[in-house]
């Protein structure tokens, strides 16, 4: 088995095997960019290591060979006493997990080679600085020693020497610090810091493998839906040094602004620094413009590399680079993460620049990103108290109570409070707090700092580098001039402008929503002349969404129960109603009428109640059909168990008993006394599997009759009014074709009667909801009667798995995801293997009986991107989702088709 690949052997398509970092390092090497040489240990090796908990023996051999090749190509030996080769040992999984896993730099330094490095570089300060960094990182990552012990010792040393920055510490101090660090290692781990370079290397490789399974890495993966079994690759890279003085440095850059998508160079540069210094916000960074001033030659080279990479990947790239004594080295690149707005703008820009096609643009954006853009923003006209301005790191408008610790953020969020996490800078340990917060605010670091990168990834509003803020985490305050914000005080942050406000600020709808509702011209005309950013965004959404509409095969319908919902659905692009629930029409004042139906002791009494309901239902349907004129409206006959319309059994029993005891009288007491036996009679142990859906229609004579008559009369009324109504009758919870026959016969009779009464032609199809396994498995028979199928995937999921949604979410969803039974709730994303299989069977069988049968899905899954791709693949005609999800569904249906 080949476990080790030199950079020259890999390429960007090998991300599964080499991880993203390794694959892209190989790609850059092949492009001829200045990448320090190195090799990648595969994710396969990591998976083997995780199973056996030791490094595979062939791996040791292959590492030796790769290391020898590396040493030979450079003419230096790992950890040699004279001009030593040093390496970094870097994690790199298939999907980037910023800041989640470990990297060890300067591997190969020991008491002897540090002298060799000092002599060769002619810089003792640099050599000792590198050595202390190795011990610090190695101790933390490999030996699991608390990192604070080292940073505290470093701070103490700076204080003792009276310097502010670590770069000002002289060589002697750093040498002394190395001794202190070694003492800490010995005291904490009971062993000496390993001096053997190869031992350092092997231990570091194992530590990187182990970092795949830290709590924070697992938490991150669960959130991002990344599988736990992928494993990480390990990259061993010859060290280059950004800490060799003022003509050296390290930086991070983007080929376009990852927050807004604007064209240009964006990045941070830190002279005389190594590795994580830039993202850690240890010192304030320089802009790329400053870097250009500082070192024109290196900057120009970087610029060229950026252009090269962007043309090669045809997308926004982010890059890590280091300058060693004026020489540029590329240390990492990848197609960069970006905000939702930037994703749309960049995709559309690249189309305009003829770099990608519209189909590709569609692949570059997601429904979730569009969804984010539909969130409100701060009202530009509202009054506000500006506290400070930082950098816009991740957009959105967040209002919440200021908190200063990750743990507080989590506690308060659990109590239902909106919190904004305020930190000098964040580090990987803050992940839990960041997830719990509606916004993140820091006073240090740039657009590429930990807070910015992680918040962008999560879609959490974030402002970084608000330097005017003095954050005191101990005192739990943030001070700006003479203003003091205490823990719990409300603040507001604007992740699109970087502004921080004291107190709450009202929010307004997003311009994308204006566009969806009013069209492009109106939305653009409402924008300020100079607001090009928003203009570009609205145009980009328009272009890409229009392309999705042209490309998609799936229709997008809405679940809508009222004329208002129907209207909204239509403006947002809904092409019909896939689920109109009628049970809502029996609530409120009408509840009493349904009580009469249930309590009726004679047919006449019951009929009287139906007669009273008929005009009400008819008017409901007329309103909806009017809004959806010309488009299909699928009306589901009543579905829930009837006792949902009655008082709760326990409550009513107590009420009746109390009234009796107190000798109370009156109409309410009489009514309750009448109701109680009915409620008792209707009580069910398992209502989800009880008397509901089509069973009600068959057992309670007249109930479906009423509803179907109301539908027929509404259709007739709309036809007479000159409309083009397309009502469809949908039968819920059928398991047997006999149930459908019974309903269908009744429907035919009613439609004929109403057509005759009204003198119009009524063409109203009757179809079945497929939401029980038996219905799916006998779909060929169901299709004898049903003119359409609509998959009710909520119930189909419940009945296929045999658990109810309400119970699974509260009681065992968490342990089930933790133990890997689900990776995602089957109620959120359709379970392809089980529920999906039933759907496929039903489609095939249904079509065998009725080739032109119309097939759709209603239920939560209709608005879920993953599920939409599945429904496209299996060839449904449409998905139906909540009106708010329609744009997402349109986009995803388009993405599924390209």
Round to whole Å and give the CA distance between 204 and 206: 5
Q: With CB under 5 A as the contact rule, which of the stretches 281-289, 326-334, 369-377, 846-854 interacts with Mg ion?
A: 326-334
25 binds, among Mg ion, ligand ADP, none (CB under 5 to 8 A by kind): none
Are 820 and 887 within 8 A, CB to CB?
A: no
Min dist CB 460 to Mg ion, Å, is 21
315: nearest Cα among 345, 339, 350: 350
Min dist CB 239 to ligand ADP, Å, is 4
105 binds, among Mg ion, ligand ADP, none (CB under 5 to 8 A by kind): ligand ADP
* Residue 862 is a binding residue for Mg ion (CB under 5 A): no
Choice among 317, 450, 643, 869 that is catalytic = 450
DSSP-derived 3-state class of residue 208: helix
Is the Cβ of residue 276 or residue 292 nearer to ligand ADP in the bound state? Answer: 276
* Residue 559 is a binding residue for Mg ion (CB under 5 A): no
Pairing of strands 103-107, 232-238: unpaired
211 binds, among ligand ADP, Mg ion, none (CB under 5 to 8 A by kind): none
Q: With CB under 6 A as the contact rule, which of the stretches 235-243, 746-754, 823-831, 847-855 interacts with ligand ADP?
A: 235-243
What mask of x and - would describe binding to ligand ADP in positions 57 to 96, judged by CB under 6 A?
Answer: -------------------------------x-x------
Give phi and psi for 585, each to the nearest 5.
Answer: -75, -5
> What residues numbered 286-325 form the site for Mg ion, per CB under 5 A?
320
Round to whole Å and give the CA distance between 800 and 291: 61
Distances (CA, A) of 407 to 404, 417, 436, 444: 9, 14, 9, 20
275 binds, among ligand ADP, Mg ion, none (CB under 5 to 8 A by kind): ligand ADP
> What residues numbered 100-119 form the site for ligand ADP, per CB under 6 A?
103, 105
Which of 4, 63, 104, 239 binds ligand ADP (CB under 6 A)? It is: 239
Pairing of strands 232-238, 38-41: antiparallel
Is the Cβ of residue 110 or residue 448 nearer to ligand ADP in the bound state? Answer: 448
Is the Cβ of residue 91 or residue 437 nearer to Mg ion in the bound state? Answer: 91
Q: With CB under 6 A as the contact rule, which of the stretches 238-246, 358-366, 594-602, 626-634 interacts with ligand ADP?
A: 238-246
Q: What is the DSSP string of 110-138?
A: -TTHHHHHHHHHT-HHHHHHHHHHHHHHH
Secondary structure, 3-state, 617-647: HHHHHHHHHHHCCCCEEEEECCCCCHHHHCC
Which of 19, 36, 79, 732 binds ligand ADP (CB under 6 A)? It is: 36
Is the Cβ of residue 280 or residue 659 nearer to ligand ADP in the bound state? Answer: 280
> How many other CB atoms sit within 10 Å of the CB of residue 137?
24
Which of 331, 462, 493, 881 binds ligand ADP (CB under 6 A)? It is: 331
Round to whole Å and give the CA distance between 824 and 562: 32
Round to whole Å and give the CA distance between 348 and 367: 16
Is the Cβ of residue 137 or residue 370 nearer to ligand ADP in the bound state? Answer: 137
374 binds, among Mg ion, ligand ADP, none (CB under 5 to 8 A by kind): none
Round to whole Å and give the CA distance between 771 and 799: 8
What the block records as the tokens of 143 is 């030996």
832: nearest Cα among 877, 859, 797, 881: 797
> What residues numbered 455-514 form the site for ligand ADP, per CB under 6 A?
none
User: What is the phi-psi region of residue 321: left when phi exceeds 0, alpha when psi lies from -120 to 50, beta otherwise?
Assistant: beta
* Residue 330 is a binding residue for ligand ADP (CB under 6 A): no
Look up tokens 């219905």; give the residue. 775
76 binds, among ligand ADP, Mg ion, none (CB under 5 to 8 A by kind): none
Q: With CB under 6 A as the contact rule, which of the stretches 108-116, 134-142, 233-241, 516-524 interacts with ligand ADP?
A: 233-241
Let me know if 389 is exposed, middle or buried by CB neighbors in 10 A (0-12, 13-18, 19+): middle
Choice among 46, 317, 462, 858 that is catalytic = 858
Is the Cβ of residue 80 or residue 277 nearer to Mg ion in the bound state? Answer: 277
Number of residues that bind ligand ADP (CB under 6 A): 16
Are 806 and 870 within 8 A, CB to CB?
A: no
Q: Judge whether 858 counts as a catalytic residue.
A: yes
22 binds, among Mg ion, ligand ADP, none (CB under 5 to 8 A by kind): none
Is the Cβ of residue 276 or residue 352 nearer to ligand ADP in the bound state? Answer: 276
> What residues numbered 791-830 form the site for Mg ion, per CB under 5 A?
792, 795
Distances (CA, A) of 390 to 341, 387, 531, 731, 813: 19, 10, 20, 57, 40
239 binds, among Mg ion, ligand ADP, none (CB under 5 to 8 A by kind): ligand ADP
DSSP-derived 3-state class of residue 876: coil
Find the helix or strand (DSSP H, E) in which 255 lies.
Answer: strand 249-256
88 binds, among Mg ion, ligand ADP, none (CB under 5 to 8 A by kind): ligand ADP
Min dist CB 394 to ligand ADP, Å, is 18
* Residue 102 is a binding residue for Mg ion (CB under 5 A): no
Are 400 and 413 within 8 A, CB to CB?
A: no
498 binds, among Mg ion, ligand ADP, none (CB under 5 to 8 A by kind): none
* Residue 332 is a binding residue for Mg ion (CB under 5 A): yes
Is the Cβ of residue 322 or residue 426 nearer to ligand ADP in the bound state? Answer: 322
* Residue 240 is a binding residue for ligand ADP (CB under 6 A): yes
Q: Which residue sits closest to Mg ion, CB atoms considered?
A: 795
Round to whole Å and give the CA distance between 512 and 594: 42
> What residues numbered 258-277 form the site for ligand ADP, per CB under 6 A?
275-276
What mask of x and - would describe binding to Mg ion in positions 757 to 786, judged by CB under 5 A?
Answer: --------------x---------------
Min dist CB 331 to ligand ADP, Å, is 4
Kindly report each contact of residues 332-338 with a partner whose C-beta sits within 8 Å and lies 24 or more positions away, as own/partner: 332/21, 332/24, 332/25, 333/24, 333/28, 333/309, 334/20, 334/21, 334/24, 334/96, 336/254, 336/255, 336/258, 337/96, 337/98, 337/258, 337/453, 337/456, 337/457, 338/258, 338/259, 338/261, 338/456
Q: Judge whether 547 counts as a catalytic residue.
A: no
Number of residues that bind Mg ion (CB under 5 A): 5
DSSP 85: B
Which of 99, 116, 245, 862 binds ligand ADP (CB under 6 A)? It is: 99
331 binds, among Mg ion, ligand ADP, none (CB under 5 to 8 A by kind): ligand ADP
> What residues numbered 298-327 form the site for ligand ADP, per CB under 6 A?
320, 322
103 binds, among Mg ion, ligand ADP, none (CB under 5 to 8 A by kind): ligand ADP
* Chain centre to alpha carbon of residue 861: 16
Min dist CB 50 to Mg ion, Å, is 23
Is the Cβ of residue 99 or residue 108 nearer to ligand ADP in the bound state? Answer: 99
**Helix (DSSP H) and strand (DSSP E) numbers for the chain:** 37, 31
For residue 68, the number of C-alpha atoms closer than 13 Å in the C-beta half-sphere is 6
What the block records as the tokens of 153 is 């010792």
882: nearest Cα among 867, 855, 861: 861
Q: With CB under 6 A as the contact rule, which of the stretches 2-10, 97-105, 435-443, 752-760 interacts with ligand ADP?
A: 97-105
Q: With CB under 6 A as the contact rule, which of the stretches 236-244, 306-314, 501-509, 713-721 interacts with ligand ADP?
A: 236-244
Binding site for ligand ADP (CB under 6 A): 36, 88, 90, 99, 103, 105, 237-240, 275-276, 320, 322, 331-332
Q: Which residues are catalytic?
A: 450, 858
Binding site for Mg ion (CB under 5 A): 320, 332, 771, 792, 795
């Amino acid at each position: 088995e080949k476990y080790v690949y030199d950079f020259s052997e890999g390429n960007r398509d090998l991300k599964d095997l080499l991880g993203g970092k390794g694959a892209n390092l190989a790609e850059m090497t092949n492009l001829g960019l200045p990448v320090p040489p190195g090799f990648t240990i595969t994710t396969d090796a990591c998976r083997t290591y995780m199973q056996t908990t030791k490094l595979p023996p062939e791996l040791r051999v292959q590492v030796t060979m790769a290391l020898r090749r590396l040493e030979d190509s450079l003419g230096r030996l790992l950890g040699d006493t004279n001009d030593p080769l040093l390496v970094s040992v870097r994690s790199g999984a298939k999907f980037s997990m910023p800041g989640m896993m470990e990297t060890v730099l300067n591997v190969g330094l020991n008491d002897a080679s540090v002298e060799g490095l000092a002599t060769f570089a002619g810089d003792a300060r640099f050599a000792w600085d590198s050595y202390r960094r190795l011990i610090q990182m190695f101790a933390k990552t490999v030996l699991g020693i608390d990192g604070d012990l080292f940073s505290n010792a470093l701070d103490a040393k700076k204080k003792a020497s009276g310097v502010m920055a670590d770069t000002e510490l002289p060589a002697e101090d750093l040498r002394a610090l190395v001794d202190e660090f070694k003492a800490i290692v010995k005291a904490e781990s009971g062993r000496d810091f390993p001096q053997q370079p190869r031992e350092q290397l092997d231990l570091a490789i194992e530590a990187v493998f182990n970092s795949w399974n830290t709590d924070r890495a697992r938490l991150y993966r669960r959130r991002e839906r990344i599988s736990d079994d992928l494993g990480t690759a390990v990259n061993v890279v010859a060290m280059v040094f950004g800490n060799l003085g003022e003509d050296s440095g390290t930086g991070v850059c983007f080929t376009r602004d990852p927050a807004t998508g604007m064209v240009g160079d964006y990045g941070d540069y830190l002279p005389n620094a190594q590795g994580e210094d830039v993202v850690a916000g240890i010192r304030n960074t320089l802009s790329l413009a400053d870097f250009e001033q500082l070192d024109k030659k290196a900057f120009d080279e970087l610029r060229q590399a950026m252009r090269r990479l962007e043309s090669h990947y045809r997308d926004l790239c982010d890059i890590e680079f280091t300058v060693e004594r004026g020489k540029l080295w590329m240390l990492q690149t990848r197609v960069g993460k970006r905000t939702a707005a930037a994703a749309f703008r960049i995709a559309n820009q690249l189309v305009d620049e003829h770099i990608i096609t519209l189909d590709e643009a569609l692949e570059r954006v997601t429904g979730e990103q569009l969804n984010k853009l539909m969130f409100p923003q701060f009202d530009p006209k509202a009054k506000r108290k500006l506290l400070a301005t930082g950098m816009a790191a991740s957009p959105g408008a967040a209002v919440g109570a200021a908190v200063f610790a990750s743990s507080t953020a989590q506690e308060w969020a659990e109590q239902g409070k909106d919190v904004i996490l305020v930190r000098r800078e964040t580090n990987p340990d803050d992940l839990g707090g960041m997830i719990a917060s509606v916004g993140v605010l820091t006073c240090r670091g740039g657009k590429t700092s930990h807070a910015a990168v992680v918040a962008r990834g999560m879609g959490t509003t974030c402002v970084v580098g608000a330097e005017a803020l003095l954050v005191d985490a101990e005192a739990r305050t943030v001070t700006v001039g003479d203003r003091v914000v205490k823990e719990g005080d409300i603040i507001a942050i604007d992740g699109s402008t970087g502004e921080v406000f004291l107190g709450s600020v009202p929010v307004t709808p997003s311009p994308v929503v204006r566009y969806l509702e009013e069209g492009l011209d109106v939305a653009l005309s409402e924008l300020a002349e100079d607001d090009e950013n928003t203009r570009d965004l609205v145009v980009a959404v328009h272009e890409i969404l229009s392309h999705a509409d042209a490309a998609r095969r799936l229709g997008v319908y809405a679940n809508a129960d009222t004329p208002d919902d129907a209207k909204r659905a239509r403006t947002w692009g809904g092409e019909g109603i896939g689920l109109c629930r009628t049970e809502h029409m029996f609530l409120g004042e009408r509840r009493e009428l349904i009580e009469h139906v249930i309590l009726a002791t004679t047919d006449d009494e019951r009929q009287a109640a139906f007669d009273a309901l008929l005009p009400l239902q008819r008017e409901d349907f007329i309103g909806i059909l009017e809004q959806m004129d010309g488009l299909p409206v699928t009306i589901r006959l009543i579905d829930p168990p009837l006792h949902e319309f009655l008082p709760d059994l326990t409550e009513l029993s107590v009420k009746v008993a109390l009234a009796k005891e107190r000798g109370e009288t009156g109409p309410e007491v009489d009514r309750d006394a009448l109701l109680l036996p009915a409620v008792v009679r209707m009580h069910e142990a398992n209502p989800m599997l009880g008397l509901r859906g089509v069973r009600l229609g068959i057992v309670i004579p007249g109930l479906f009759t009423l509803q179907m008559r109301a539908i027929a009369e509404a259709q007739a009324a709309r036809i007479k009014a000159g409309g083009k109504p397309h009502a469809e009758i949908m039968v819920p919870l059928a398991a047997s074709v006999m149930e459908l026959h019974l309903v269908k016969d009744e429907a035919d009779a009613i439609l004929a009667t109403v057509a005759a009464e009204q003198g119009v032609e009524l063409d109203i199809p009757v179809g079945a909801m497929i939401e029980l396994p038996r219905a799916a498995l006998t779909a060929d028979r169901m299709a004898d009667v049903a003119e359409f199928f609509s998959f009710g995937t909520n119930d189909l999921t419940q009945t296929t798995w045999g658990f109810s949604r309400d119970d699974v979410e509260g009681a065992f969803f968490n342990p089930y995801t933790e133990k890997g039974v689900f990776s995602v709730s089957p109620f959120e994303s359709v379970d392809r293997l089980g529920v999906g299989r039933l759907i496929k069977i039903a489609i095939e069988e249904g079509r065998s009986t009725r080739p032109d049968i119309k097939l759709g899905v209603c239920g939560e899954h209709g608005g879920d991107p993953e599920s939409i791709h599945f429904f496209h693949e299996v060839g449904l005609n449409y998905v139906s989702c909540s009106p708010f999800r329609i744009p997402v569904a349109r986009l995803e249906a388009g993405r599924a088709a390209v």
